[in-house]
Chains A and B, each alone.
Chain A
């Protein structure tokens, strides 16, 4: 019986991994057929372009995009913690945060980029950071508010019974209890941040992977557009699989 189940589990596991590989081949097939029309360079061409790129050309742009994403995300994370904490006690801030989330959530990255670049200028390094902050804020804020109210009332009562003050309750129970939910939200949020950052970079002239994509486009360099897009995909996938996913898994074990 268990033997049979184990066999079935293995077959399902192999099927699942095959599905994942097929997805990669599917995307590649679309690319190859699109390039057959002659409008788009094919994988081989783009790979050759990628290999011809110099490391000292790629690394600064990647770092710039990482910097924009992480800084923007940190801003929205900090704002969420402050608003989330105050929401806990004050209905006014709760209403404010909720409506702010709704407004920001219905505003596009495109609108933020245009407004901020128009306000701060194309050379300003700030728009990508602020766009990332604005776009990730609703998600992180909503997650933070629910994470901060996820603490077990039994644990709160227990620490209160041995003399915890409200600040002890916050730092020793409410905050630690929210770690798993915050970790999940941060993983999604940082992934979003990277993809949003390049949109905002495309509108300015301060560099980053998004800036390189649009520059290649303006130079009618189709291979460059695809090569830098692959850099972005590698960056998003690499960060998620190698850094964020393991961190999230660790955080989830925290409460057991």
Chain B
């Protein structure tokens, strides 16, 4: 029986209108979980609730470990270098000096950031480099659960491939339990073990699909079929 790292149970969330309706899902240890759904359906809101940055109106979230989150917009501090951005969390936790430097170096090189990348300010770095710095900023705190919001959006082909390699390496090495929210199926599906397909806003879980044992073609076919199904049902309403 796999250990559950993150358990989301019957979550409701409204802003001016309902966004999430009765969402239940779980993340097993060492698993890469995908969450897909149409744009604006509530994926980011769900991820922020998983991270504890937003509280649900109803329902509960149980986390078995520290959470690290990477936002879609990177959200690096523009007046600090990438090195300083990666080091932020460690500094807030009181780490200093050589120990901090070692930790920053270790996780930066893990995601493929060079020393010269790290000396840049965000505005001088490429989109791919910034995304990796945001990833390293979450990883240095050694989370047990990693949440990624649209990690491939806005990156060119080369940067996407490079980020994919970095993520695979991290999973192979650490088996880090991960949730990836994305609407880019071609990027997400080769990586994910399981996906939840959400309906258009307000988001409900339409389907849970176990992708293990399927080749990429089969995975795409299966998830697209599920999305078409919910979209046609939404159109009929």
Contact = CB atoms under 8 A, between A and B. Distances in A.
Nearest to B51: A161
B135 interface: no
Interface SS, A side: helix
A162 B71 contact: no
Interface residues of A, number: 20
A45 interface: no
Contacts of A36: none
A159 interface: yes
B75 to A, nearest CB: 4
Contacts of A162: 88-89, 92, 137-138, 141
A165 interface: yes
A162 B86 CA distance: 10
Interface string B38-58: 000000000000010100000
Given A157-B53, A158-B71, A173 B77 contact: yes
B123 interface: yes
Contacts of B138: 161-162
Q: Among the interface residues A157, A158, A160, which one has the most CB atoms of the partner chain B within 10 A?
A: A158
Contact of B78 (A159, A163, A164, A256): A256
A158 B78 contact: no
Interface string A161-196: 111110010001100100100000000000000000
B79 interface: yes
Q: Among the interface residues B76, B77, B138, B141, which one has the most CB atoms of the partner chain A within 10 A?
A: B77
Interface in A201-254: 254
B69 interface: yes
A168 B77 contact: no
A255 interface: yes
A155 interface: yes
A256 to B, nearest CB: 5
Contacts of A155: 75, 77
Contacts, number: 47
Interface residues of B, number: 19
Nearest to B121: A256
A234 B76 CA distance: 43
Contacts of A176: 77, 79
A176 B85 CA distance: 14
B71 to A, nearest CB: 6
B53 A164 contact: no
A94 B131 CA distance: 39
Contacts of B123: 256
Given A157-B53, A158-B71, A256-B123, A164 B79 contact: no
Contacts of B141: 162-163
Nearest to B69: A161
Contacts of B79: 176, 179, 254-255
Given A152-B75, A158-B71, 8 more contacts: A159-B92, A160-B53, A161-B68, A162-B88, A163-B89, A168-B92, A176-B77, A256-B78
Going nearest first, the 3 A-B pairs with the smallest beta carbon separation are: A162-B89, A158-B75, A163-B92
17 contacts: A152-B75, A154-B71, A154-B73, A157-B71, A157-B75, A161-B69, A162-B88, A162-B92, A162-B141, A163-B89, A163-B92, A164-B88, A165-B92, A172-B88, A173-B77, A255-B78, A256-B123
